[in-house]
Amino acid sequence: MNRAIRPRWSITMLTLPEREPHLARLLASLPAAGAGVETEVVVIYNAPPREPKPVLARRLAQTCPELEIRVRFNEGRQTIADGRNLQLAECRAPLVCFVDDDVTFHGPLLPALTRALAEHPVALLGLPSLRDDTEEPFKPRPDTPNVRQGDLQYMHVQGMLCAGYRDVWLDVGAFNPLRAFWGEWTELNTRLWRRGYPTAYHMGTGFLRHWCQAPGSPTRHRPDRALHILWGLACTALEYDAVALSPDTRCFWDLIERRYLPYAFAAGVTPSDVLRTMLEVVPRLVEAWPAIRATRARAASDPFPFTPFHPLTPADVRRVQTHAIRALARARAHASAPGVRAAVSPLWSEPGAPEVRTA
């Protein structure tokens, strides 16, 4: 890469040593998906390395010699949220694509994301994924409420791949460090919608494959994952006024009961399991209460007071899109500034009439 030219895209992965074979497969899939001279790759090791750092970095660079690959090591608190904030800090490009290290790219995905960000007032985009080498959809979940407008499916984007404007994510406060090992994307999506920045899946071009048997998942394979999931749910409910059951919070509580508690307690959830785990969470909530209360106070002034997983309507999406057309102007200008390769011409138009889907 010509280092005098600022990259347009940073593609970044958070990884662990035991997941390197899957990371190598992901890196090898990037050039065919459109990553090239305008792309840098930033790999963050979120655990102590098992060999000399230069050796590890050279080996990863050789995996995909077509791309500039920078490897950094998290020397601080090695939670997912802190690793994510280090990823954001290390990226140099105005457009950032966070991608899980256990996926591969299929199709011209990077040009599709670039066009979608140019054509639509959206702050964060995801892509559909399939399970392993099957045709079984993985994300987005078909039963999560959404609003469909052309190729974009407006809803929370839950990891796997999240692409958007670095400036915007920094402006809204990046990743909440309280979401140590679970829920960082849920919280960021909630904050973006409340601040007037839409998030959506791009359903029109290409897909990811999620290789579900990758070892060492920092959430899925944790013996205390139930504690971290209940911790994230409790913080979210307290911060965004979703404790009481109401029409606005019903979707959030339905997802807790139907999806998140069964995921947290893999052996089968029982009331006593939930109570015991919540009793472990309580002392942490007491300790973190000043930070939770500060987030709650800031959220009270958000212009769009959506609760987590608010059941979006077409009218909601149009209101937030109208706000985002203006709010994204500075970040978009930064992405098209001189020195950034392949600047995009302004193609936004007023949002049309979307279609709402609830399943």
Question: Do residues 334 and 6 lie in contact, with contact meaning Cβ atoms separated by under 8 Å?
Answer: no
pLDDT at 346: 30
Domain spanning 9-210 has what CATH number? Answer: 3.90.550.10
Q: What is the dihedral of CA 148, 356, 160, 103, to 10 degrees?
A: -60
The lowest-confidence range among 33-37, 218-222, 262-266, 335-339 is 335-339
Separation between Cα atoms, residue 241 and residue 244, nearest integer Å:
8
Separation between Cα atoms, residue 53 and residue 42, nearest integer Å:
15
SS3 of 139-207: ECCCCCCEEEECCEEECCCCCCEEEEEHHHHHHCCCCCCCCCCCCHHHHHHHHHHHHCCCEEEECCCCE
263-314 pLDDT, tens digit per residue, is 999 878 899 999 999 999 999 999 999 999 999 999 999 999 999 999 999 9
Separation between Cα atoms, residue 158 and residue 208, nearest integer Å:
14
Outline which parts of the chain fall under CATH 3.90.550.10. Answer: 9-210
Question: Do residues 142 and 130 lie in contact, with contact meaning Cβ atoms separated by under 8 Å?
Answer: no
Burial environment of residue 76 by CB neighbours within 10 A (0 to 12, 13 to 18, 19 or more):
exposed
pLDDT band at 341 (very low <50, low <70, confident <90, very high): low
Q: What's the residue count for the chain?
A: 359
